[in-house]
Amino acid sequence: MVTSTFDIRHNGRITAARATRSDGECLRYRLDVVAASAADVVQSAGGWLYDRVMAGWEVTALVPHGCDTRPLRILGVQASDADPRFALAGSTSQSLAVSAEAFTADARVRDKVLESLDDRLTEVALWGDGWPLGVNRAMTRAQHALSAAARRFKGYALAAAGIPCASVDLTETLLCDRRSPVDSALLRLD
């Protein structure tokens, strides 16, 4: 969450300043994304992620090493090709988004999703097909209505990923946990 405070100078001028933690880092909501490719992220959740970035969230996508990250950068998403063992171990995000393909491919990702589903303070969003019944049962379908800017930038990101797209849909459908603690702008369908 980005928080603002006001600093009143001696000359009477008021300026906004961001609140910071004791280590100097700005206070912001954080969303970690794990996917098998940048194209998968952009196609399935690109508009939602763009809107999160524009709302002040720190959004980082963990994708395989050597993956073209330009489509993610177009959306304002920071890309990381770090080893999931290290990237997920110390994650303190308020939100986690994972593709079904990444979930199936890596036991560490599966463990992190299951751990996050049990953590009442972490919002979990998933996309793709083939989720195991235990995960699927804890989730509900939700939609995000993309802003006009999100649709435009998602279109650019899709083109950069080599995905032909005449127009971008107005909504994206994800699975999300039933008890989301963070205002995610996802409209539950169930």
Please write the tens of the pLDDT for every residue from 87-119: 555 556 688 999 999 999 989 898 988 888 888
pLDDT of 55: 94
Going from N- to C-terminal start, the domains of the chain cover: 28-188
Chain centroid to Cα 176, Å, comes to 12
On whether the 28-188 domain is CATH 3.40.50.10320, my answer is: yes
As a whole number, the mean pLDDT across the chain is 80
Q: Please report the DSSP string for 93-124 in residue order.
A: -SEEEEEHHHHHH-HHHHHHHHHHHH-TT-EE
pTM: 0.79
- 6 near 15, Cβ under 8 Å? yes
What are the residues whose beta carbons fall under 8 Å from the beta carbon of 8, sequence distance 6 or more? Answer: 14
